Amino acid sequence: MTESPVHTDLWPAPVANGAVDATVTVPGSKSVTNRALVLAALAAEPGWVRRPLRSRDTVLMADALRAMGVGIEEGVGPDGTGEAWRVIPARLHGPAEVLVGNAGTVMRFLPPVAALADGPIRFDGDPRSYERPLHGVIDALRALGARIDDNDRGALPLTVHGAGALDGGPVEIDASSSSQFVSALLLSGPRFNQGVEVRHVGATLPSLPHIRMTVDMLRAAGAQVDTPESGGEPDVWRVSPSALLGRDLVVEPDLSNAAPFLAAALITGGRVTIPDWPERTTQPGDSLREIFTAMGGRCELTDTGLTFTGTGRITGIDADLHDVGELTPVIAAVAALADSESVLRGIAHLRLHETDRLAALAKEINELGGDVTETEDGLRIRPRPLHGGVFHTYEDHRLATAAAVIGLAVEGVQVENVATTAKTLPDFPALWTGMLGSVAGATTAPRS
């Protein structure tokens, strides 16, 4: 597990002394925004990305594409309403430097794009980014004809020496550590001379909903994609070479970022409404409806959005979160406050995320008095009375929101570097305290 940097800023997590009753407008999806930017940059004509998420990860993606020559103009949509980004494709070129921060989508989706550029594109990022696996993308691109210098690390920093085109064709990869390896190749596949056939040869494949999201967005942009779900071979995806259409795309709310707010309803026995929750979506966060209902709440999806209501009781859960691993931190936080044991399975890949999320969750919850043990592929959580203390976040946005969730019911929880939530959820503290404005007697612990 990455050591947590020393931060003097400690955010006192507010305690809810009553039931929440709030409507929370969640910003747009990071996953959709960054996929939309890549597809628009590779299109044959300009397009619009409406209601984009503006966060560290999406700004990094936009700046990286600009560095390679793409025009991205920020303003309002063509009808004069709402924030929108106009994406104007251009000849991709180097030399350029791409700073990825610690954004998995940027470090994995853009090397295939860089292979289509003329000239060298250097990728660098935060120290933790050097520890995150990139071998799946690097090895695949080399097999497809790209030239990449990474000093045989299979990780950042690296340089892609773009030749203006890539032959493409069939390639085998092991995407056991990240489904983003598959999505990265599929997104650029239409621009490869032969398209691409990606065959996953690993033992497991996490986060399948994110691959389905990639496929749906490719098809909406005019690409022909064959998948296992459409009658193709298991673990094989084929994208035919074609021009991509410039689209007018509206970004859905980020359902995974709704997790802490829905958790607040469950924990306080209150009610939270998330407007514009889609009736059909490929976002993993949609699974929150089923998971949190199993933990003791109830939900109603209407034309207005999703309303989730807590019943005043939190039940432990035995759940395989393999496809929705990003929800684990908040689910673990809720489980630590339940009245029975929880087992979270199928999430060994979380050890390779922004930090080792399994080790971090166990350590931080235990230091507040919890009883969390790591298993081979997940966590076993036995509820115990918790107490206040500093919850370290390891530069991980989802650990910060998990800490806030625990703080609703435990006095004295102080969240280290809550600003890390800006990675995907800008101004989380204001959204959180705004939600709690409906709770009479909401308090915060004193700052130390």
- How much is the pLDDT for 439? 61
- How much is the pLDDT for 163? 96
Retrieve residue 91's tokens. Answer: 């000849």
Residues 6+ away with beta carbon under 8 Å from 10: 390, 414, 415, 416, 447, 448
Task: Grade residue 400 by pLDDT with cuts at 50, 70 and 90.
Answer: very high
Q: How distant, in Å, are the alpha carbons of 35, 60, 178, 248, 409 from that of 184? A: 9, 16, 10, 22, 40
Residues in the chain: 448
- How much is the pLDDT for 1? 55
Q: Are 438 and 45 in contact (CB under 8 A)?
A: no
Q: How distant, in Å, are the alpha carbons of 13, 279, 364, 427, 429 from that of 413? A: 6, 36, 11, 19, 14
Is pLDDT above 70 for 280?
yes
Q: Are 158 and 110 in contact (CB under 8 A)?
A: no
- How much is the pLDDT for 8? 56
Torsion sign (Cα): 278, 284, 285, 287: positive
- Residue 279 CA to residue 288 CA, distance in Å, equals 14
pTM for this structure? 0.88
Residue-averaged pLDDT of the chain:
94
Q: How distant, in Å, are the alpha carbons of 172, 175, 314, 353, 429 from that of 178? A: 14, 5, 31, 9, 30
Burial pattern 205-241, b for ≥16 Cβ within 10 A else e, equals bbbbbbbbbbbbbbeebbbebbbeeeeeeeeebbbee
- Residue 68 CA to residue 362 CA, distance in Å, equals 41
Task: Grade residue 77 by pLDDT with cuts at 50, 70 and 90.
Answer: confident
- The better pLDDT of the pair 273, 8 is held by 273
Of 326, 354, 364, 395, which residue is the catalytic one?
326
Is pLDDT above 70 for 291?
yes
pLDDT per residue over 2-28, tens digit each? Answer: 554 444 589 999 999 999 999 999 999
Torsion sign (Cα): 157, 200, 237, 205: negative
Is pLDDT above 60 for 365?
yes
Q: Tell me what the mean pLDDT of segment 134-160 comes to.
A: 96
DSSP assignment of 169-180 equals EEEEE--TT-TH
The reply to whether 367 belongs to the active site is no
Angle, helices 259-268 vs 328-335, to 10°: value is 10
- How much is the pLDDT for 441? 41
Q: Are 432 and 14 in contact (CB under 8 A)?
A: yes
- How much is the pLDDT for 444? 44
- Residue 177 CA to residue 199 CA, distance in Å, equals 15
The answer to which of 33-42, 283-292, 304-313, 345-354 has the lowest mean pLDDT is 345-354
Question: Rounded to 5 degrees, what angle do the CA atoms 436, 342, 445 make?
Answer: 30
Task: Grade residue 410 by pLDDT with cuts at 50, 70 and 90.
Answer: very high
- How much is the pLDDT for 354? 74
pLDDT per residue over 84-124, tens digit each? Answer: 999 999 999 999 999 999 999 999 999 999 999 999 999 99
- How much is the pLDDT for 188? 98
Task: Grade residue 445 by pLDDT with cuts at 50, 70 and 90.
Answer: very low
Is pLDDT above 60 for 186?
yes
pLDDT per residue over 424-436, tens digit each? Answer: 999 999 999 999 9
pLDDT per residue over 298-323, tens digit each? Answer: 999 999 899 999 998 999 999 999 99
- How much is the pLDDT for 440? 41
- Taking the C-alpha atoms of 430, 433, 434 and 438 in order, what is their torsion angle to the nearest 10 degrees? 180
